[in-house]
Amino acid sequence: MSMLTAIQSASAGQSRATQLRFWLLLGGLAVLLLVSITLGITLGPVEIPVSAVWRIAASETLRVLSDITSLDLSGWVNIEEDWSKAQFNIIWLIRFPRVLLGVFVGAGLAAVGVTMQALVRNPLADPYILGISSGASVGAVAVLAFGAFAFAGIYAISFGAFVGSTLTFFIVFLLAQSNGRLNPARLILAGVAVAYFFSGLTSFITLTSDKRELARAVLAWLLGSLAGTDWPELTLPAVVLLFGSLYLAMQARGLNALIVGDETAATLGVDLTRFRRLLFLAVSLVTGVMVAVSGAIGFIGLMIPHIVRLMVGTDHRRVLPVSIFVGSIFLIWVDVVARTAFDPVELPVGVITSLLGGPFFLWLLHRQLKERGGL
Amino acid sequence: MNLQTENVSWSVEAKKIVDAVTLAVAEGEFVGLLGPNGSGKSSLLRIIYRILKPDAGVIELAGANVWQLSPRQVARQMAVVMQERTGDFDFSVHEIVMMGRNPHKGMFDRDTTHDFQLVDEALARVDMTDFAQRSFLTLSGGEKQRVLIARALVQQAKFLVLDEPTNHLDIHYQLEILELVKNLGVTTIAALHELNLAAFYCDRLYMLKAGRLVASGTPEEVLHPDLIRQVYGVWSEVATHPLTGKLVINFFPEALGSRLNGNGRKK
């Protein structure tokens, strides 16, 4: 064996080991996600046996399947219905959709955070900090208050939020440019200013509206909450998360090049203008849809990618999938804390993420200032 | 792989940064682009590697207009080594070099054994094999440049663009980097600020002043004290080194230079 082949096998072997570790991590996270979903459903003021969770899920899935296929499947699997009507309602109609929404929103916001940080090349970027979530909230509230985007039917709120997030992202991006370059300090400041403005606008629309139910809804949007979700609301976030994260995962190589630098990306064959536009749209769409169902839950997109990078490095082929899992697991547990820890008061989940995320942001900022002497 | 620019111009708000530059790099040549700071060297290179779109003129790579090729097509033929900082995001050396495979990869392609071989060979060639798993951010300037050259090798481009590859490097690394590039035998255009290095390594030189080409040719044809005085505003003496046969340039400050020059000591 020549020396060169010896070197080759060493390096390829090392990377195979890295690859194996990555798949083990992903497998572990998948198991952890299932466990978290189960526990997230059982934990709460009303005691629920763990076994009931998945048996109810199985029997409901079976029922839906036989409805669709109009076959009698009850002979296949026999699930004994030993749960009460109340237990069924709590598990299947209240907690299941709520926990699943946490999964989708947590995953979506984490993926969006990863992408935005590569797009603006700044680890402090997050849809909440850059005001994108506030913009989405305005869009959503405008739909409720003025009946905007009525043509979109039941998806009007999501559409409004998407329009709001796209516009806001665009404005913040423009404001952050100086001499054709993205200035990190300007980016954060522009984001904060825009976020304040749009939060103010959301409150303004709500308080001057003659629709009374708005006042309650707006609190949920401003604070971010997973409460009161039902099954039909889950469809759009699930579809958008699936396609959004698949698209982003396919762009992982491009994101790697982009996070190194615009010119590097271009000289490695990335069509910058087109790629940026598509990422812009993907980020705005996922943020808009998530905010439409859960309000502005902050700092997930900031904290999760950072923690994940400490675990697996910067390569987006690993960071994206791991962030998606960690984001969903994280949000399930934060929501469990939000609704159980301060009994009898139930907090909106965004309150807890802000309490965690604010100090995290400051810590990152402090580190950045220390290392670079500036943003 | 050859490159030609024809009457290429680029301005910022009516100020011509690059002014009607026509140059050519032939297959296998190592061409140096000289000129003081602000003479438009980097801008011209950025036009060549398709980051800046010229207001006028054509850039042809192997006979094809680069603006009629996709960024991907260009990236398969042309690799660029520039000053690079990954900022807050750290990659391993292996990951940085593997990025050179990007222009050859579709969305669903994974890294193959072939890709790993290319990375290993490239790292061996720049003598960075032991650094494969190190973090890029912790490397010294010279090591970073070598890694970026390895990435260019993995890109398997037939044409190489270097933007001040020896900037901020110790003389040891300056020689090492240029020696490395020269020995690759790839067609290269490099912006250089160190005239002695340019004279030593380049086959031909182009000299820019205020965006215009003021001289071109072999080092012997271009590097004259008069031209150096005109372009850089310094006095100099150009001699041929007895051992290497290459030009050696000495620079003098204004007072000393005008005295020496008065004595008529010119080559």
Q: Tell me, what's the pLDDT at B266?
A: 46
Is residue A198 a part of any domain in this protein? yes
* Percentage of residues in chain B having pLDDT higher than 70: 97
Is A133 within 8 Å of A293 (Cβ atoms)?
A: no
Look at residue B220 in the predicted model and tell me its pLDDT: 94
Q: Residues of A with CB below 8 A from B10's CB?
A: none
Q: Report if residue A16 sits inside a domain.
A: no
Residues 6+ apart with CB under 8 A from B112: none
Inform me whether the C-beta atom of residue A271 falls under 8 Å from chain B C-beta atoms.
Answer: yes
List pLDDT tens digits, range A103-156: 999 999 999 999 999 998 888 899 999 999 999 999 988 888 888 787 877 788
**A368–B88 C-beta distance less than 8 A:** yes
Shortest CA distance to A157 belongs to which of A218, A91, A246?
A: A218
Rounded Cα distance between A169 and A340, Å, is: 35
Which chain A residues are closer than 8 Å to B113 by Cβ?
Answer: 12
* A197 and A78 housed in the same domain: no
Alpha-carbon gap, residue B210 to B36, rounded angstroms: 9
Are A163 and A71 in a shared domain?
no
- Both A79 and A142 in one domain: the answer is no
ipTM beyond 0.90? no
Query: How much is the pLDDT for A375?
Result: 61
Residues of chain A contacting residue B91, judged by C-beta atoms under 8 Å apart: 256, 260, 313-315
Q: What pLDDT is attached to residue B59?
A: 95
Average pLDDT, chain A: 87
Residue of B nearest to A123 (CA): B88
Q: What is the pLDDT of residues A195-252, one digit of tens each?
A: 999 989 988 888 888 877 777 777 777 888 888 888 888 999 999 999 999 999 999 9
DSSP A103-149: HHHHHHHHHHHHHHHHHHT-TT--TTTTTHHHHHHHHHHHHHHH-TT
- My answer on whether A72 and A105 are in the same domain is no
Contact criterion met (CB < 8 Å) for B91 and A314? yes
The pLDDT, as a whole number, for residue B264 is 43
Residue among A117, A268, A314 minimizing CB distance to B102: A268
- Confirm whether A5 is domain-assigned: no
From chain B residues 185-244, the ones with a CB under 8 A of any chain A CB are none
Whether B79 contacts chain A with CB within 8 A:
yes
What residue ranges define each of the domains in chain B, with the CATH number in brackets?
Answer: 3-223 (3.40.50.300), 225-267 (no CATH)
- CA nearest A288: which of A142, A152, A136? A136
- Domain of residue A46 covers 39-83
pLDDT for residue A77: 67
Residues A107 and A134 in one domain: yes
The confidence score (pLDDT) of residue A35 equals: 95
Confidence check: pLDDT of B79 > 90: yes
Q: Are residues A184 and A264 in the same domain?
A: yes
Rounded to 5 degrees, what angle do the CA atoms A168, A169, A173 make? Answer: 115
pLDDT in tens, B210-251: 999 999 999 999 999 999 999 999 999 999 999 999 999 999
Neighbouring C-beta atoms of residue A359, cutoff 10 Å: 11
Q: Residue A306 falls within a domain, yes or no?
A: yes
Rounded to an integer, the average pLDDT of B116-143 is: 92
Q: Are residues A200 and A144 in the same domain?
A: yes
3-state SS assignment for residue B69: coil
A59 and A114 within one domain: no
In this predicted model, which residue has the larger pLDDT, A219 or A99?
A99
At residue A297 the predicted structure's pLDDT band, cuts being 50, 70 and 90, is: very high
Number of domains in chain A: 2
Closest by Cα among A138, A120, A101, A147 to A328 = A101
Q: What is the DSSP letter of B109?
A: P
- Give per-residue pLDDT as tens, B31-44: 999 999 999 999 99
